[in-house]
Amino acid sequence: MTPNYHVAGIAKAALESAVLYLAMQLGRDGVLVNAVGASLLATDGALRAIGEQHARATRTVQARRSATGRAVDHEDVARCVAYFCSPLASNLTGELVTVDGGFSRAYL
């Protein structure tokens, strides 16, 4: 377990709840509400919160256990956001997409 990262699960659950609530409240007005829940990215905030060594170790485990065999990078998240902003997602709302290479679905 990564020290100081335990709050991430609580934050992601709150995000999912807020997305569903807002989608129901704003959908009839034509507002689509979706979110991206990415696994650990090497950002300044993450590195400060858990430390560079722990972040590196966590990303190594995620790469090893994910279905894609690699950790998520910023481009993966950006592509998902671009999809949400495109006409391809014109009637998609209330979704929290987890961009983690299948890590959260792995049973290994």
Which residue among 5, 21, 83, 107 is the active-site one? 5
Question: Is-catalytic flag, 83?
Answer: no
Q: Is 21 a catalytic residue?
A: no
∠ CA 81-42-94, rounded to 5°: 30
Q: Indicate if the alpha-carbon torsion angle 14, 16, 19, 21 is positive or negative.
A: negative
d(CA 42, CA 48): 10
DSSP, collapsed to helix, strand or coil, labels residue 24 as helix
Cα separation, 76 vs 95, in Å, equals 17
Active-site residue, selected from the candidate residues 12, 21, 83, 107:
12
Residues with catalytic roles? 5, 12
